[in-house]
Amino acid sequence: MQRASTARGTAAGSGAALVLLAFVSLFLPGASGSGGGGRKMALGGEARGVVSRYLNNKGANVEAAAPPPPRRAPAPSPPVVASPGQFRGQARLPRFAAPRRYDLRLRPDLVACTFTGAAAVTVAVSAPTRFLVFNAADLSVDRASIRFRDLAPKEVVFFDDDEILVLGFSNDLPLGEGVLSMKFNGTLNDKMRGFYRSKYKYKGQMKNMAVTQFESVDARRCFPCWDEPAFKAKFKLTLEVPPGMVALSNMPIANQIVTGPVKTISYEESPLMSTYLVAIVVGLLEYIEGVTPEGTKIRVYTQVGKSNQGKFALDVGVKSLHLYKDYFGTPYPLPKLDMVAIPDFAAGAMENYGLVTFREVALLFDEESSSESSKQNIAITVAHELAHQWFGNLVTMEWWTHLWLNEGFATWMSHLAVDSFFPQWNIWTQFLDDTTAGLKLDSLEESHPIEVEIHHASEVDEIFDAISYDKGASVIRMLQNYLGAERFQKALASYIRKFAYSNAKTEDLWAVLEEKSGEPVKNLMTTWTKQQGYPVINAKLKGNYLELEQAQFLLDGSFGHGMWIVPITAGCGSYDMQKKFLLKGKSDRLDIKDIASQCGNQVKGGNFWIKLNINQTGFYRVQYDDKLSAALQNALQSKKLSVMDKIGIVEDSHALSMACKQTLTSLLRLLYAYREEADYSVLSHINIVSLSVAKISVDATPGLVGDIKQLLIKILLPPSVKLGWDPKDRESHLDALLRPVLLVALVKLGHDKTINEGVRRFGIFVHDRNTSLLPPDTRKAAYLAAMQNVTSSYRVAYNDLLKVYRESDEAEEKARVLSTLCHCKDNNIVLESLNLLFTNEVRSQDAYYVLQGLDVESRETAWLWLKGSWDRIAKKYTDTQEGGFIRYIVTLFSSNEKAEEFSGFFATRKKPEFQRALKQSLENVRVSARWIQGIRSEPRLAQTVQELLRRP
């Protein structure tokens, strides 16, 4: 699944793929108990009280369950106490029975937004038991319809907190296979999880589309099932839909029959797969089609009238399947692949086997209205999801602890693929965006290991984050660099072949890599996956020796107790020769002649420099002593360092400054050394660091903030002037990405000339939407500029932006507008924009676009709004989305007093689903508070700023 993350290049550009947060499944309060013959048991709040047109539902006589016992680790063997309650609070379902095949029939009602269903599941009983235990949530199950081997259960008990249904029979069940059948119904919900509805316009009228999103634990909201990755089974689906509707599932259609108002479609039986990969889409759709060199048919489905916007994604999809077939040494396993653009979709995209679903903005590209950053994001997203067809779908993680095997590898593979298709994009340099995101989150005490223990289904959602994705992908890149690309590829292909159609753990991957490479992969990588955090390597020059010492890096300035086996790479004076070795202990000492033969003779020369972590292939930071740091800065100014190393140096310096291990004064001097930089990737990182410095200076040095912003403008303005506002003929993809990054930064820093030009161009655009003066790439900068002058009494530009939003049918343009509405000095306008989140004008998936427009000036208004609106937020949005609200607003602050205020407010409003987000947000506030104190103690900061401003 492509989590909803900030897409590179878009943050300061179109705003289209910004902050696509993964709103993963959450359980709703329900009821538990057992009923008498013929009664239905209501499973979950939304389905309770739904009257089915197809099943005889005369109400549920359901007793409230007792409070659940504390959650505990699963028993190592089948329990012996013969009571349904023994299965409560377990991390996983018992293993004494497992599904082999699901025969499912579903009938969605797109008007009433309900669905009915029937399941016949072939179940293999492998150990003595009188119970069957499986998952169900938000469903009404017809108790009278439940049969296993023609036996009716004696007990039918639903445990709401655990989302399990326990069937108790009078006697032990026969060993071997039998069929479990039942009927059920539910609601097509508005939560973008399970079986839900998405709204779209067709010929001016609103229509409903039925869509599934099952990862991580939401298949149980569509049909009763063993909803864990290890319970792989085959699926045979039948759908009953209106004749005019397109109905898609994982497999091709086997046959279909129209009988009056119902079209019955049967699909081919699937190969073995996990429940979270089952998918259904029903709606009015059209498609375009392509074929891979191997003959696999690929289609891109869209709303009617938008199919042409799927051409770019289709091209990337065809190329990706072909590339992965060769890389993994295994053909694509299914007979077809569909990619579908969904108007309401929580994540960025989802890799359902053979039926991949996307947000519209992550799949559709229009040459006239889409930005260049959107094009790149689409390529990466498509390549990510199609990599999952092998790494995730064909070979599936055994349990959610190993989620990173899916997401880390898909993230890494997507860059490998896109680099092959578009080498001019320098995508491996841009990959450092992912590494930076992983390093940032993993420097918090409230981070977690790559392999994190999952003790209950409600905990899964929180690990779809920068650790599983970005750190996971980064340590894979580190390992590939250590082993070598060819050895690594051959070992991966062996792993895929060995575990095809089954499940694997992290240890299984290490075993294959170790066997094929002959390297101690398990010992090396276990230090990176089983403990959280990463090291900072302290490098000191003592005579002709380089002394290295590792310590866990934490943003709060403390050092943890972690210890890693670190693949060190080092270069001296050039990139011609590099030293590679493993730092296995706390410290080590190198003769610098061992790094490069000429290095020992250069220590006193002007060409001497030593760089560790060459091209940032390692997941660690480096802190150099003063002499080494000065030499690197000279090398930087002399243009002797690679683009990747330029990024690594400034990112490490920024993090060390935040942790008060280096001064802001030294960071500003380093930033100034980049004033002649022209590379997109480097400048995008300089931009992020610059805006971070501008933000912290508001609280740390309010009297100096204006001068600091002028210094940052001085650094970013020259490349922006060179690029200008207007695209050049045949300019590079990277220049097209860089232009909006710089323009948006200059507007946010208050550069008057850029703001005035943005306002001018916006005025022309309002009256002529097709003007060449404001193409998609630069619109966000103009929109932000226009918002600078908006007040309650002068709101013309604000009204114009709302008009653009309401009249646009493009998801990217809508996101672009929403992301600018809160960037305003008038708090009444900020409040008005925030309150749009409670209207039908903003899709739930798009709430975070509005929040990401908030800044330091509007933070108090936003916090008061959050407190006063919390009950409404909790009612309208999912628990995971609530965590996003917290993260966006709380992290705008930077004082310990505010952290205490936030803690007090949420003390009575805690939910497991956003507990990690809250703790991480509070930690970030305290880190900022400590950084401020460090900055205030710097004696030469003001003098340095003035000195740099005076330089020609």
**303 three-class SS:** strand
Q: Which of 645, 630, 726 is nearest to 679 (CA)?
A: 645
Tokens at residue 816, please? 């672009």
CB neighbours (10 Å) of residue 752? 11
Strands 297-303 and 285-291: antiparallel
Give 612's strand partners.
Answer: 570
Q: Tell me, rounded to whole angstroms, the distance of Cα 833 from its chain centroid.
A: 25
Q: Tell me, rounded to whole angstroms, the distance of Cα 673 from its chain centroid.
A: 33
CA–CA distance from 589 to each of 113, 489, 542, 545 (Å)?
Answer: 68, 33, 10, 7
Q: What is the DSSP string of 834-902?
A: HHGGGSTTS-GGGHHHHHTT--GGGHHHHHHHHHHHHHHHHHHS-HHHHHHHHHHHHTT---HHHHHHH
CA distance 319 to 418: 10
CB neighbours (10 Å) of residue 860? 13
CA–CA distance from 765 to each of 76, 370, 726, 760, 797 (Å)?
Answer: 66, 16, 14, 9, 11
* For helices 796-807 and 752-767, angle between their N-to-C axes, nearest 10 degrees: 50
**185 three-class SS:** strand
CA distance 307 to 364: 8
State yes or no: 384 annotated in a binding site.
yes
Region for residue 625 given its phi and psi (left: phi exceeds 0; alpha: psi -120 to 50; beta: otherwise) = beta
State yes or no: 407 annotated in a binding site.
yes
* For helices 733-748 and 776-787, angle between their N-to-C axes, nearest 10 degrees: 0
Q: What is the DSSP string of 15-84?
A: -TTTT-----------------TT-EEEESTTTTTPPPSSS-------PPPPPPPPPBPPPSS---S-SG
CA distance 121 to 224: 9
Instruction: Select which of 385, 757, 812, 882 is catalytic.
Output: 385
Query: Is residue 385 annotated as a catalytic residue, yes or no?
Result: yes
CA distance 696 to 810: 35
CA distance 165 to 224: 8
State yes or no: 654 annotated in a binding site.
no
CA distance 529 to 882: 29
CA–CA distance from 619 to each of 150, 564, 802 (Å)?
Answer: 57, 11, 43
Tally helices (H) and strands (E) across the chain.
26, 31
With a CB cutoff of 8 Å and minimum separation 6, the contacts of 667 are 653, 654, 657, 689, 693
Region for residue 597 given its phi and psi (left: phi exceeds 0; alpha: psi -120 to 50; beta: otherwise) = alpha
Q: Which of 616, 321, 418, 481 is nearest to 8 (CA)?
A: 418
CA distance 671 to 654: 10
Tokens at residue 64, please? 């409230």
Check whether the bond before 869 is cis (ω within 30° of 0).
Answer: no
CA distance 837 to 848: 9
255 phi and psi angles, rounded to 5 deg: -165, 160
Tokens at residue 233, please? 């089974």
Query: What DSSP element (H or E) covers 397?
Result: strand 395-397
Annotated binding site for Zn(2+): 384, 388, 407
Annotated active-site positions, please? Answer: 385
